[in-house]
Chain A
Amino acid sequence: MGDPMKIRAKLDGDVLDVRVLMAHPMETGQRKDGAGNLVPLHFIQTMTAQLNGKPVLEAETSQAISRNPVFGFKLKGAKTGDKRTDEVTVPTG
């Protein structure tokens, strides 16, 4: 998928403001393509955010999340220079 996510983080005092943009169609299974066929369900189901290797936020999501999802969250205990890792699981179907 190349580079599916863009992440921005801003440190405000001791609170890290994180925004994640994921490129994903988030198909609801209710939309029809040009030929009138239903586009099958296809959406992000789970998301985990880690800070310095420790999971800090876990999410489960449905097809009701908008296309190209944007999530924002706030983390504590982050310092400038910290590394972050993240992971998106994109199942089919």
Chain B
Amino acid sequence: MTEPSRRTALKRTGALAAAAMAAGLLRPTEAFADWNKSAFESKTVADALRNLKVASPADSKDIVIRAPDIAENGAVVPIEIQSNIPGTRSIAVLIEKNPFPYAASFDFAQGAALPFVALRVKMGETSNVRVVVATADGKFHAAAKEVKVTIGGCGG
């Protein structure tokens, strides 16, 4: 009888495929899985923080935000962020009044990268720049700085 052997063979390949799937070898290729789409598409800070799974960030004076008080050109606003909180794992930047507030986040390898980042962002109008720091112990810390914008950086 050839039928049973064919059956077992089929079963075997099936099992093999399942094992490969489990091992992550045949995972469907998901482009930019790390990119938090829901957070980036949030239109309010509260929604963005919820989608970033940030729970009750405590205000902290140990986050230093260097940004201009008045930005002449909202298309290019230089911001430098330094976290003096021990165990800083990541820094997220949100521009409160932008159409999509969540601008970027940076994950630091412990011990290899200092919790510092410099970037340039677009700002549609005068707004708070909010920084949320996540630490290795799972806590969140926040700070904000207002930047006045004379010419908006979106549209145009």
* B35 cross-chain contacts in A, Cβ below 8 A: 45-46, 60
Quick check: is A84 within 8 A (CB to CB) of the other chain?
no
Contact of B114 among A15, A19, A28, A30 (CB under 8 A): A15
Q: How far is the CB of A26 from chain B (nearest CB, A)?
A: 8
Interface string of A12-53 (1 = CB under 8 A from B): 000100010000001010111000000000000110010100
Contact A66 B104 (CB under 8 A): no
Tell me the bound Cα distance from A61 to B92 in angstroms.
Answer: 10
- Shortest distance from the beta carbon of A15 to any chain B beta carbon, whole Å: 7
Q: List the A side residues contacting B126 at CB < 8 Å.
A: none
Contact A67 B75 (CB under 8 A): yes
Interface residues, chain B, with chain A CB atoms under 8 Å away: 31-32, 34-36, 40, 75-77, 80, 95, 98-100, 102-109, 111-114, 116-123, 153-156
A76 touches B32 (CB 8 A): no
Interface SS of chain A: strand
User: Which residue of chain A lies nearest to B40 when distances are taken between CB atoms in the complex?
Assistant: A62
B155 touches A64 (CB 8 A): no
What's the minimum C-beta distance from B124 to chain A, rounded to whole angstroms? 9
Which 5 pairs, one residue from A and one from B, show the smallest C-beta to C-beta distance? A72-B118, A64-B103, A74-B114, A66-B120, A56-B112
Q: Give the residue among B80, B114, B117 with the most A Cβ atoms within 10 A.
A: B114
Give CA–CA (A62, B109) in the complex, Å. Answer: 21
A62:B104 contact, CB within 8 angstroms: yes
Asked whether, in the complex, the Cβ of A64 is within 8 Å of the Cβ of B32, the reply is no
**Highest count of chain A CB atoms <10 Å: which of B99, B112, B120:** B112
The CA-CA distance from A57 to B117 in the complex, in Å, is: 10
CB proximity to B under 8 Å, residues A70-93: 70-77, 89, 91
